[in-house]
Amino acid sequence: MSEDSILKPNTEINQLEEKVDELLQRYHVLKTENKSLKIKQESLVKEKAKLLAKTTLAKTKVETMISRLKAMEDSA
């Protein structure tokens, strides 16, 4: 058996190990990023709900003021 045939499998195994390590590292980075994005999304969904509630309240108040102004105009 030549030295090349002995070294080649080790080199291939080392390359494969490096690729697996790289994939694991990428997996952990993506997992962390995904968790962060989910938290951010949850926060944005809550903020959107609050803003919609405020908008609805403001719309109701404006409609009430318009109704009062029309009533005042009609009585004058």
For residue 2, what is the DSSP state? -
The predicted-structure confidence for 59-69, as pLDDT tens digits, reads as follows 999 999 999 99
Label residue 71 by pLDDT band (50, 70, 90).
Answer: very high
Closest CA to 51 of 37, 65, 66, 43: 43
pTM: 0.65
Helices (H), the chain: 3-75
The predicted-structure confidence for 8-61, as pLDDT tens digits, reads as follows 778 999 999 999 999 999 999 999 999 999 999 999 999 999 999 999 999 999
